[in-house]
């Protein structure tokens, strides 16, 4: 299982309905993107961090390991805003207001990423996917997504074991050997995926498979109190941003 | 390269979502029809999605000494066709956003457009064109993977340049800026992905003829050969 999904399964909010967590987590993301980066995104960032480490109980180290991935992309992307092409300063020169734009972009992306991480760290995919049918996603697409999700872990595990076996047979000692091993790895993953699909099909056919995959979902109800509190928090953040915007800029 | 969460301004994020929607809806409709007619396809398509997800997690040695991961769009388009890739790519990108923190939900539309639509269609077009003129299979596979990978990054450059025009030279300057950054890293990676795809396809032709025929890849080979023969006659 992937670390974020594993953490979601053992989360304090695991039993909460995905709608509750979507309103809070994705609501924070929407605010981060749509409010002025300063002070809006900064407020969202602090709030998301407090909720993640406080009530949601996400372990710090796990959060950092997941967060540093998008953070790396954000920093790389923001660096390009520091320079400009052409103009009086030469072919490539430092852009006027570049650091401010880069800083604002960093604030926005890092706050938005934390909002999504709040949702991802508290909502296992297996709780979310079957409920997408009620949100209007066609059932066959949800079924394909469910099979993809479940099969991904098996395949990732297979890939890890194949890579270990290749290394044990000196499959990564030279560049040529590494390429050969990588090609073999990709082809074996394909063959294993289709072999598993065929065996799953045979097993399901024996159990009267009619084209729909029915899965049991843990009972959960949308909490009016939780959702209302989340909405109140989002409104408060919006109001606070507009109140603080003028004095702080 | 996925565009990170919150990287695009809201209007751009919505616009790319709207641009991707017709392709994804078309893919969803054809997938739904396929699953209703052949329920067993659910498992095959799920396996294809899982393969695409795993393929994007493979570490690819880069010419510069670092490593990256393949987009898998070229191989996916050859094996599963671009409409199916629009749906499978969307599912994969959703999983990457929520399970790996790669990409994002607000930038899903933009990422879907570059990785699940533009890349697969560009790669598949090149593949079909080359096969029509009887270019050897592995050359066509390499070209498809190379073009799919590179076009994905070109579209991403356009998306970023539109969102962040250069203060001095506007959209074109920004396109050059993002494009040159990608060109340094992505041309070698596109070559690497092309080579990897050839290796994978060569092994698949040797060991999985049944699956390739079921997917129509080997049948398409026969058809394109017959078409070319008919044209020469």
Query: Are residues A92 and A181 both part of a single domain?
Result: no
Do B47 and A197 lie within an 8 Å CB cutoff?
yes
| Rounded Cα gap, residues A108 and A33, in angstroms | 6
| Rounded Cα gap, residues B43 and B47, in angstroms | 6
Torsion of CA B187, B191, B196, B201, to 10 degrees: 120
Judged by a CB distance cut-off of 8 A, whether residue A191 touches chain B is: yes
Whether residue B98 is contained in a domain is answered as yes
Per-residue pLDDT band at B225 (split at 50, 70, 90): low
Select the residue from A197, A200, A209, A214 to test the B interface by mutation, using most B Cβ atoms within 10 A: A197
In the structure encoding, which two tokens stand for residue A79, read together?
Answer: 């660096």
**pTM, full prediction:** 0.88
Reported residue count of chain A is 249
Per-residue pLDDT band at B14 (split at 50, 70, 90): very high
Q: What is the DSSP letter of B74?
A: H
Cis before residue A135, ω within 30 degrees of 0? Answer: no
Whether residue B214 is contained in a domain is answered as yes
Whether residue A36 is contained in a domain is answered as yes
Tell whether the model's pLDDT for residue B111 goes beyond 90: yes
Nearest to B92 by CA among B112, B70, B114: B112
Per-residue pLDDT band at B1 (split at 50, 70, 90): low
Query: Are residues A105 and A55 both part of a single domain?
Result: yes
Q: What is the pLDDT of residues A77-117, one digit of tens each?
A: 788 788 777 767 677 778 778 888 889 999 999 999 999 99
Torsions phi, psi for A74 (to 5 deg): -60, -45
Whether residue B204 is contained in a domain is answered as yes
Q: Enumerate the residues of chain A whose CB falls inside 8 A of the CB of residue B199.
A: 179-180, 182-184, 186-187
Q: Tell me the torsion sign for CA atoms A191, A196, A199, A204.
A: negative
Q: What is the pLDDT of residues B158-207, one digit of tens each?
A: 998 899 888 777 888 888 877 877 767 778 788 888 888 888 888 888 87
- Mean pLDDT value across chain B: 83
Per-residue pLDDT band at B56 (split at 50, 70, 90): confident
Query: Are residues A119 and A242 both part of a single domain?
Result: yes
Query: Are residues A119 and A17 both part of a single domain?
Result: yes
Whether residue A210 is contained in a domain is answered as no
| Rounded Cα gap, residues B112 and B1, in angstroms | 12
Tell whether the model's pLDDT for residue A242 goes beyond 80: yes
Do B98 and A146 lie within an 8 Å CB cutoff?
no
Q: What is the DSSP letter of A214?
A: -
Query: Are residues A116 and A231 both part of a single domain?
Result: yes
In the structure encoding, which two tokens stand for residue B177, read together?
Answer: 């800026």
Query: Are residues A141 and A116 both part of a single domain?
Result: no
CATH label of the domain that carries residue B41: 1.10.1760.20
Query: Which residue in chain A has the smallest CA separation from B89?
Result: A145
Whether residue A152 is contained in a domain is answered as yes
Query: Are residues A11 and A56 both part of a single domain?
Result: yes
Torsions phi, psi for B54 (to 5 deg): -70, -40
- Mean pLDDT value across chain A: 88
Q: Cα–chain-centroid distance for residue A23?
A: 16
Query: Which residue in chain A has the smallest CA separation from B167?
Result: A84
Query: Which residue in chain A has the smallest CA separation from B76?
Result: A190
Domain assignment of residue B164, given as a range? 10-232
Q: Complex ipTM, two decimals?
A: 0.88
Domain assignment of residue A109, given as a range? 3-123+219-248
Whether residue A237 is contained in a domain is answered as yes
Across chain B, where does the E strand assignment appear? Answer: 60-61, 67-68
Q: What is the pLDDT of residues A119-175, one digit of tens each?
A: 999 999 988 998 888 888 888 899 899 989 988 888 888 889 999 999 999 888 888
pLDDT, residue B112, reads 95
Query: Are residues A166 and A60 both part of a single domain?
Result: no
Torsions phi, psi for A60 (to 5 deg): -55, -45
Query: Are residues A139 and A195 both part of a single domain?
Result: yes
Nearest to B35 by CA among B23, B24, B46: B46
| Rounded Cα gap, residues A185 and A158, in angstroms | 9
For chain B, give the percent of residues with pLDDT over 70. 87
pLDDT, residue B63, reads 45
Nearest to A130 by CA among A109, A152, A119, A145: A145
Average pLDDT over residues B105-113: 94
Query: Are residues A76 and A138 both part of a single domain?
Result: no
Domain count along chain B: 1
Do A155 and B51 lie within an 8 Å CB cutoff?
yes
Query: Are residues A155 and A69 both part of a single domain?
Result: no
Nearest to B51 by CA among B88, B2, B93: B88
Domain count along chain A: 2
Per-residue pLDDT band at B233 (split at 50, 70, 90): low
Query: Are residues A112 and A139 both part of a single domain?
Result: no
Tell whether the model's pLDDT for residue B42 goes beyond 70: yes
Tell whether the model's pLDDT for residue B227 goes beyond 80: no
The A residues from 141 to 170 touching B (CB cutoff 8 Å) are 141, 143-152, 154-156, 159
Whether residue B76 is contained in a domain is answered as yes
Nearest to B201 by CA among B79, B97, B93, B88: B79
């Amino acid at each position: 299982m992937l670390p974020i999904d594993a953490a979601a399964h053992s989360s304090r909010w695991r039993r909460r309905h995905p709608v509750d967590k979507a309103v809070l987590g994705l609501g924070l993301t929407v605010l981060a993107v749509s409010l002025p980066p300063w002070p809006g995104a900064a407020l969202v960032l602090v709030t998301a961090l407090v909720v993640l480490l406080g009530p949601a109980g996400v372990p710090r180290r796990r959060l950092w390991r997941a967060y540093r991935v998008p953070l790396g992309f954000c920093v790389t992307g923001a660096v390009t805003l520091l320079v400009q092409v052409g103009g009086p300063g030469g072919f490539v020169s430092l852009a006027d207001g570049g650091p401010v734009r880069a800083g604002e972009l960093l604030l926005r992306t890092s706050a938005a990423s934390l909002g999504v991480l709040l949702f991802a760290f508290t909502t296992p995919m297996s709780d979310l996917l079957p409920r997408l049918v009620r949100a209007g996603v066609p059932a066959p697409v949800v079924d394909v997504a469910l099979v993809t999700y479940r099969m991904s872990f098996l395949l990732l595990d297979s890939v890890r074991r194949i890579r270990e076996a290749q290394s044990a047979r000196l499959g990564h000692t030279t560049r040529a050997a590494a390429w050969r091993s990588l090609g073999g790895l990709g082809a074996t993953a394909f063959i294993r995926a289709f072999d598993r699909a065929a065996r799953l099909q045979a097993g399901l056919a024996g159990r009267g498979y009619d084209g729909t995959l029915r899965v049991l979902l843990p009972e959960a109800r949308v909490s009016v109190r939780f959702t209302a509190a989340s909405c109140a928090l989002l409104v408060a953040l919006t109001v606070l941003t507009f109140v603080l915007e003028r004095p702080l800029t | 390269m996925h565009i990170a969460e919150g990287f695009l301004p809201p209007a751009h994020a919505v616009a790319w979502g709207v641009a991707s929607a017709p392709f994804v809806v078309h893919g969803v409709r054809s997938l739904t029809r396929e699953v209703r007619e052949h329920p067993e396809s659910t498992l095959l398509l799920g396996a294809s999605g899982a393969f695409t997800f795993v393929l994007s997690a493979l570490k690819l040695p880069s010419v510069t000494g670092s490593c990256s991961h393949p987009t898998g769009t070229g191989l996916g388009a050859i094996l599963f066709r671009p409409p199916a890739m629009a749906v499978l790519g969307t599912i994969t990108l959703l999983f990457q956003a929520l399970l790996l923190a790669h990409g994002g939900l607000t930038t899903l539309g933009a990422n879907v457009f570059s990785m699940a639509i533009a890349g697969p269609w560009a790669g598949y077009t090149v593949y079909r064109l080359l096969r029509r003129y009887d270019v050897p299979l592995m050359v066509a596979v390499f070209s498809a993977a190379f073009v799919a990978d590179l076009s994905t990054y070109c579209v991403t450059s356009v998306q970023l340049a539109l969102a962040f025009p250069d203060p001095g030279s506007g959209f074109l300057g920004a396109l050059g800026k993002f494009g040159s950054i990608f060109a340094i890293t992505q041309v070698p990676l596109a070559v690497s992905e092309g080579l990897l795809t050839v290796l994978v396809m060569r092994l698949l032709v040797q060991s999985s003829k049944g699956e390739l025929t079921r997917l129509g890849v080997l049948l398409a080979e026969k058809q394109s050969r017959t078409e070319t023969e008919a044209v020469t006659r």
